[in-house]
Amino acid sequence: MTTTLVLEPTNESDLHLLLSLAQRLGVKATASPAAKLSLEERERRFMALFGSWQSDETGDEINKMLRDSRQSNRPDIEL
């Protein structure tokens, strides 16, 4: 199993520190070109991960539907 951890250091010094620590810990680490992306491009890529849908219901109506459809297996407890 491979696990990927993405770190986005804000400067070259931090990048070198993280790569050095990874090497000392025996962790495979590589610096990808994504580390050189502009803040605007990183934000655009992040926002592209989210979806949306069209609906006739308002946000309040959707929230009410979600609340009303919740079910609990816990018994009612009187204090």
| Choice between 9 and 56, residue whose per-residue pLDDT is larger | 56
Q: What residue spans define the domains of the chain?
A: 12-69
DSSP for 57-75? Answer: S-HHHHHHHHHHH----SP
pLDDT digits (tens, 9 = 90+) for 34-66: 557 788 888 888 888 887 778 899 989 999 999
Look-up of token digits 């810990």:
25
Does pLDDT of 8 surpass 60? yes
Coil, helix or strand for 26? coil
Question: pLDDT-based confidence at 33, cuts 50/70/90?
Answer: low
